[in-house]
């Protein structure tokens, strides 16, 4: 486990973008899993800037969305796939972009399809950490071995998703790349920002490995890199 503590959100975004760009440059056809949420927004801004300036080539990169709300109509602007398109994918040519289908008639079949699509292996999984310790939509006490799964969302996760649905109730379920595939990735980049993430990050890093806190499983990943700002890292022993 490698932990990098930076001063603030801007430095976190710079460190995250630099790491993603190294993977994109070092591997001929990199497979990269991307998250949504507030924490990676600065990273995406920097990646767009590098891309549009011609300093980073994404034409051979294969991008996959980490998770998705279900069910939602195809093309709904609140889907995480639509969000990633706005943030990065639609700003230039990429080799490939795939995502879990929010409109899938059978979510189990869709999860199987997505796991098969990722069969070549994940070079880098970029993830955040939920306040309840979830990674993607792998909520506490769900199947930690699944390659991809449908999950009933907790009240906290639905409340967080409410930002995408100012006038509607968000769906009750999510589809997500499972911890089984995340743990098999060559490297995992965990981003944490803000004082509200300090307690759960410290538990995930220093506490017991338990399905009650999915992020704690990452302690056992040999290629885990954590980038946290000082607020999020304030309860870590090295802070």
pLDDT (tens digit, 9 = 90+) per residue, 38-78?
999 999 999 999 998 888 888 899 999 999 999 999 989 99
- Contact by Cβ (8 Å): 159, 169: no
Q: Band of the pLDDT at 32, cuts 50, 70, 90?
A: very high
Burial class (CB in 10 A: 0-12, 13-18, 19+), 194: middle
Count of CB atoms within 10 A of residue 75's CB? Answer: 10
Residue 159: per-residue pLDDT:
86
Enzyme catalytic residues: 67, 132, 134, 139
With both helix axes pointing from N to C terminus, report the angle between 9-26 and 41-52 in degrees, rounded to the nearest 10. 50
Specify the CATH number of the domain 2-229.
Answer: 3.40.50.1360
Which residue in 85, 83, 148, 149 sits closest to 118, CA to CA?
148
Q: Which two tokens stand for residue 25?
A: 């440059």
What ranges make up the beta strands (E) of 21-132? 31-34, 62-65, 67-70, 96-98, 124-127
**Predicted confidence (pLDDT) per residue in 117-133, tens digit:** 998 899 999 999 999 99
* Nearest C-alpha neighbor of 72 from the set 168, 177, 178, 160: 168
Tell me the pLDDT tens digit for each residue of 192-229.
Answer: 999 999 999 999 999 999 999 999 999 999 999 999 99
Higher pLDDT, 93 or 204: 204
In angstroms, the CA 224 to CA 234 distance is 19
pLDDT for residue 166 is more than 90? no
- Give me the pLDDT at residue 239, please: 65
Distance between CA atoms of residues 13 and 6, nearest Å: 10
Domain boundaries, the chain: 2-229
């Amino acid at each position: 486990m490698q932990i990098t503590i930076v001063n603030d959100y801007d430095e976190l975004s710079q460190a995250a973008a630099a790491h993603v760009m190294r993977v994109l440059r070092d591997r001929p056809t990199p497979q990269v899993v991307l998250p949504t949420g507030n924490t990676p927004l600065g990273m995406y801004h920097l990646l767009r800037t590098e891309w549009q300036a011609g300093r980073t080539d994404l034409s051979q990169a294969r991008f996959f969305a980490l998770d998705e709300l279900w069910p939602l109509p195809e093309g709904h602007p609140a889907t995480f796939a639509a969000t990633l398109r706005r943030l990065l994918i639609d700003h230039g040519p990429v080799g490939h972009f795939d995502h879990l289908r929010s409109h899938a008639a059978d979510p189990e079949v869709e999860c199987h399809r997505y796991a098969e699509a990722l069969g070549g292996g994940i070079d880098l999984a970029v993830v955040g950490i939920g306040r309840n310790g979830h990674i993607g939509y792998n909520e506490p006490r769900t199947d930690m071995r699944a390659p991809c799964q449908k999950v009933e969302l907790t009240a906290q996760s639905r409340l967080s998703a409410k930002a995408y649905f100012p006038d509607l109730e968000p769906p009750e379920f999510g589809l997500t790349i499972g911890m089984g595939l995340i743990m098999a990735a060559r490297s995992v980049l965990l981003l944490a920002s803000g004082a509200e993430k300090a307690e759960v990050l410290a538990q995930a890093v220093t506490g017991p490995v338990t399905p009650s806190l999915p992020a704690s499983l990452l302690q056992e990943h040999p290629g885990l890199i954590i980038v946290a700002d000082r607020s999020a890292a304030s309860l870590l022993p090295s802070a």
